[in-house]
Structure 1
């Protein structure tokens, strides 16, 4: 089994080692022909794909990032108001290691859930085009995390940003621009360390960031079940997703969560069904990787696997390879020794070790059930019915339903008037 896994990683390394070499250049726009990058339309092949999937050109989008694989996905609303993936891009460069951004200067790229408005679009970026991630959000601020101007931009150079090629960011910018013109008030950006499958959670179970990732996984699961961006709130300094409060209690990022906060019944049952499969897979992979865990490579190690790509480019061009290409599975004891050694080197050099780069690894088995309760993140979901549906009922209406409106002419975000997500689940 492990031989097959390492073969898989080797194939991924070959496929993802270069952020440019693996892309089909024929599908990208020749930048020398672009007269107005801000209004450059999406390529014809993408427009054709949208038509095949039942997507309107100006329907809402969602952006999803997976650091370990070095991938950025664009998801778009279809006619039934569920989202489907329409495009995927290799991230040319991201700095730091897996884990959230904690403070200014730590070189970490953000992880979490962020709301992008028209004001986040920067048509005048010196990195061709840029979209501000919105870091710090309410969760980051409540937890004292600092930093600013963390972007999705072009130029393939990163110090805490997600940097794409100029051709890629031209398309990503166009997706967001068209969605805003269609009336979408906010585009949700979901930034994850990796796909939050049972196997990946087991591989990374010893990371000091594991508890944070378990919290993100709840939002990941909500999207996987509904195929709609979850309603995101923050209370008790933790993310909560698709929560309702019968008494209309508000969510205070640093304050107590509403006493009657709960998951709508239909969604709760669907999440339990999803989690049942996940837990079975988790038990299988915990046995497979019982004495091994994943070594998360440093930024320097990721750059080393794509060093040849820098030849012939400007000195500022700094692609990074994927963590899958540069990392590896190790014996737990060997991993502990290596991380302790790295910790000593960091302390000796005077570098600050934040929670995102803390080399102390955790021990013991930890699962990640899909619970929204901040104070009991590991508690199982209480389900009234033992009959679990294979799909989630589609509400009669949806807060993210596309309805064409006049184009957005201003860069100022307008207050959202969409009803809370839970009202549609509760019907």
Structure 2
């Protein structure tokens, strides 16, 4: 009895000592409840934000940046924090099929049940891939996350310290009553210069569509309402009912004269900048995926490698490169509709209610994981947290792969040591 008491006392002393070193908080499984640093809390207060006000996330692949935006007391959003993405895999361009190693691009929705406090990647939340647009185009894949551990197989991976803060932003917003937060994942910042650089890329038409949502947010600083009709993204069309089929015809939209004027001015400035950019030589292009054909090749390579077959060190590529630059004009597709409640000048005092994304998340077949994120009583049924078993297998393969983006050394989480 004395021996067992002594062992217990020794263990407790170790835990208390670890607490002085700042690790016991995580080791005891409380990392999902870790509060935001006081420095960030002070910054939120200075910007007119509360700890539990709504959030939104923007991701830019080429720049390797994840931004957290938060709603201010005037209803508009402002960036509160920016993080360097530790790793993301694949190339510029959307995810097509499971195993293609592509990190998703598009507009996704995160509900409370997609938050995983027990992730083997420290902390994680599922992006909600495939969404309605992906499913309408037959795209496949699962368990696409933003997580820690700095290891990626089609996910956006952060360091443990970074994901702790990002997770806390979402957790606190749910506590405050936000039903879901939006993730906008782009190949690059959709400036005129960048769009001109990639105007000959095979993914350009897809990126022009994403830019409509990008522009809607740039003009209003309010996350756009996102729907899918005619198998394409549509933004701020309030005539589309919730749950409308992705293949249904898109109803006409109306917008106020003030909003129309604001967007017309924005677009004219963009067109002039785009035209000027086509005559200049921009920085070198980043590799991009050459459509479904290349995605299938990479998927087959991934499957063969997972089976232990001898394959090339790097995944196959169709070696797509953009042809020589040709004269081009700015995109002429219909601009996104901006909410009628936002005036053309978007004054700082104008209150704007943050819209709730209409698209419900897909419910994967994987077993749910426990979640400690509080869910408001008015929150609709949401997707369970998917299992991560197949991600672990893919990550083990990817450790030596030179195609994984990011030069930060992988940081292994100690949490797995305490899991049963």
Shift of 1:240: 0.7
Pair 1:372–1:237, CA change in 2 (3 A): farther
Query: What secondary structure sits across from 2:276 in the alignment?
Result: helix
Find 2:331's aligned residue among 368, 372, 375: 368
Match of 1:178? Answer: 172
Whole-angstrom distance in 2 between the partners of 1:277 and 1:60 = 30
Query: What secondary structure sits across from 1:127 in the alignment?
Result: coil
Pair 1:357–1:192, CA change in 2 (3 A): farther
Q: Please say if 1:359 is aligned against 2:353.
A: no
**What RMSD, in angstroms, separates the aligned Cα atoms of the two structures?**
3.5
Find 2:248's aligned residue among 255, 268, 271: 255
Shift of 1:252: 2.6
Shift of 1:188: 0.5
Match of 1:78? Answer: 72
Q: Give CA-to-partner distance per residue, 1:77-118, whole Å, 9 cap, x none.
A: 001010000000010000000000011000000000011110
Q: Please say if 1:37 is aligned against 2:37.
A: no
Q: Give CA-to-partner distance per residue, 1:281-315, whole Å, 9 cap, x none.
A: 111111113xx77432489xxxxxxxxxxxxxxxx
Contact 1:136 1:146 in 2 (8 A): yes
Find 2:285's aligned residue among 292, 295, 300: 295
Find 1:266's aligned residue among 236, 246, 258: 258
Find 1:191's aligned residue among 171, 185, 188: 185
Q: Please say if 1:284 is aligned against 2:276.
A: yes
Which range moved further: 77-86 or 30-39? 30-39
Q: Please say if 1:140 is aligned against 2:134.
A: yes
Match of 2:359? Answer: none
Whole-angstrom distance in 2 between the partners of 1:183 and 1:274 = 33
Shift of 1:255: 1.7
Q: Count matched residues.
A: 321
Query: What secondary structure sits across from 2:278 in the alignment?
Result: helix
Match of 2:54? Answer: 60
Find 2:345's aligned residue among 386, 391, 408: 391
Query: What secondary structure sits across from 1:211 in the alignment?
Result: helix
Contact 1:119 1:411 in 2 (8 A): no
Q: Give CA-to-partner distance per residue, 1:135-164, whole Å, 9 cap, x none.
A: 000111111110000000001111100000
Contact 1:139 1:239 in 2 (8 A): yes
Pair 1:130–1:357, CA change in 2 (3 A): farther
Pair 1:183–1:295, CA change in 2 (3 A): same
Pair 1:349–1:215, CA change in 2 (3 A): closer
Shift of 1:249: 9.9
Shift of 1:31: 4.5
Whole-angstrom distance in 1 between the partners of 2:163 and 2:42 = 20
Pair 1:359–1:148, CA change in 2 (3 A): same
Q: Give CA-to-partner distance per residue, 1:398-419, whole Å, 9 cap, x none.
A: 33289xxxx9734998239xxx
Pair 1:199–1:210, CA change in 2 (3 A): same
Structure 1 regions of 5+ residues with no counterpart? 1-28, 300-338, 374-380, 382-388, 417-427
Whole-angstrom distance in 1 between the partners of 2:89 and 2:288 = 9
Q: Give CA-to-partner distance per residue, 1:234-273, whole Å, 9 cap, x none.
A: 100000111143x979843112112x33444433221111
Pair 1:263–1:241, CA change in 2 (3 A): farther
Whole-angstrom distance in 2 between the partners of 1:163 and 1:198 = 28
Shift of 1:50: 0.3
Query: What secondary structure sits across from 1:124 in the alignment?
Result: coil
Structure number with greater CO (CA < 8 Å, separation at least 6) is: 2
Whole-angstrom distance in 2 between the partners of 1:410 and 1:347 = 41
Structure 2 regions of 5+ residues with no counterpart? 1-20, 303-314, 338-342, 357-371, 382-420
Query: What secondary structure sits across from 1:288 in the alignment?
Result: coil
Whole-angstrom distance in 1 between the partners of 2:71 and 2:335 = 25
Whole-angstrom distance in 2 between the partners of 1:270 and 1:227 = 13
**How do 1:321-332 and structure 2 match up within 5 A?**
none
Whole-angstrom distance in 2 between the partners of 1:60 and 1:268 = 27
